Amino acid sequence: MAAIGERDDPAFPVGAVCRIDSRAPWRQVAEIPVGLDPEGIAVDVARRRAFVACSRSDFVSVVDLDSHEVVAEIATGAEPIDIGLDEQTGRVFTADAHSDQVTIIDSATLEVETALPVGGYPSGLTHVPEYRRLYVGNSLGSTMSVIDLDTLETVATVDAEPGAGAIGVDSTRRLVVCVNFVAASANFYDVDSFEEIARLELGTGTCAIGIVPERGEAFIVNSIAGTVSRVDLESIEVVEEIRTGQAPVGLTVAPAHDRIYVTNRGAGTVSVLGVADRCEWSQIPVGNGPGGVVVDPHDGRILVANAGSQTMSIVEDLLAAKPPAPVVEESSPWLGNRLPAFALEDYWTGERRTNHDWAEKKYILNFFASW
């Protein structure tokens, strides 16, 4: 499949594969069709490939990062959500939520090596090369599985809380942090003993984490609350709530650790947040319903999995530092205008319903997707 650049944004003309706009502090490089509901991305730096976990397709799309083409699709267990790649062994790991397992793929042969059982509904994973550990958050099991990256043995299963998913590791303080979507909390464990040493209440819908160890800070996304919590890792307390775009879901720390990238599922953008000033430097448009986000260490480009448009965006953040003017969110041009006529099928009755059915009534259209 070839890279595409079709967008509804008139400044990004249909058929273009690249947008260069000197006024914008970002550049759209490509938007590549992958499988259904892509959520997680891992980068094979040496082979210039991205592995995209496509949860509704039950496979991983392998994207050539130079040609921007999908070169393989690798079947996994049901509903692969998160994904990681261990460069030392060349193994790719997917958290297969609906199969309660982690699939292990050989990144050289692109074949499945094996699958490991974990807890109920694994939805997040993080691997730490220096510890030779893979940590898996099991949402329904309310546990965290700890797997040896080399022997593939489960060395511990630790109690967490409902909705356990994303995991962060602070190598400086030797902390493992498991964030729990349903419980809206985070558990802090000693990396060696797995003993829980602290717990934090967070915002609603806690779902992603990034750590800046030299500052002793963690940034945790609260998707329903629409904030990012800044957590002091010495005192283990929330010191600030930072607002981002609509419905933030994913987060990654930039290689220079001067900014973080937060995907806004409700806005189709990536917020660039300064680590030191906690200000939103810019919002980069990507595909519809973005979630997983990583930075390609090779060229610093940002890779984003767009669940709504079933694509992976490649974009560049062109800001060298904080811009002089703050971000101003553009309001919809539809504000103050009449809702266009519509005729849509009623899920319950199968009948066509039109806007005339709600004439002279006040109402809210809530656009949603089940993923």
Partner 1 sequence: MLVDIWEGTEPRPEVERFCDMWGIKGPILLDPGGELATTLGVRGVPTNVVVDSDGTIRAFGAARLDELEQAIDSLYGR
Catalog residues that contact partner 1 under the rule CB under 8 A: 8, 36-37, 56, 224-226, 246-247, 264-269, 285, 288-290, 307-310, 331-340, 342, 344-348, 353, 355, 358-371
If you compute the radius of gyration of the chain from its CA atoms, what whole number of angstroms results?
21
Tell me whether residue 133 or residue 265 sits nearer to partner 1 (CB atom).
265
At its nearest, how many Å lie between partner 1 and the CB of residue 189?
A: 30
At its nearest, how many Å lie between partner 1 and the CB of residue 355?
A: 7
3-state secondary structure of 306: strand
At its nearest, how many Å lie between partner 1 and the CB of residue 241?
A: 12
Tell me whether residue 23 or residue 361 sits nearer to partner 1 (CB atom).
361
Tell me whether residue 325 or residue 341 sits nearer to partner 1 (CB atom).
341
Distance CA 178, CA 143 (A): 9
Please give the full DSSP string across 78-143, using - where no structure is assigned.
Answer: S-EEEEEEETTTTEEEEEEGGGTEEEEEETTTTEEEEEEE-SSSEEEEEEEGGGTEEEEEETTTTE
Tell me whether residue 194 or residue 371 sits nearer to partner 1 (CB atom).
371
Tell me whether residue 30 or residue 177 sits nearer to partner 1 (CB atom).
30
Residue type, 50: A
Structure tokens of 287? 């595909």
At its nearest, how many Å lie between partner 1 and the CB of residue 203?
A: 10
At its nearest, how many Å lie between partner 1 and the CB of residue 136?
A: 23
At its nearest, how many Å lie between partner 1 and the CB of residue 358?
A: 8
Which DSSP letter does residue 356 get? Answer: G
Tell me whether residue 89 or residue 288 sits nearer to partner 1 (CB atom).
288
Pick the closest to residue 341 from 360, 322, 357, 317 (CA basis).
357
At its nearest, how many Å lie between partner 1 and the CB of residue 268?
A: 3
Distance CA 157, CA 200 (A): 20
3-state secondary structure of 355: helix
Residue type, 334: W
Distance CA 181, CA 254 (A): 24
Tell me whether residue 143 or residue 244 sits nearer to partner 1 (CB atom).
244
Distance CA 107, CA 54 (A): 17
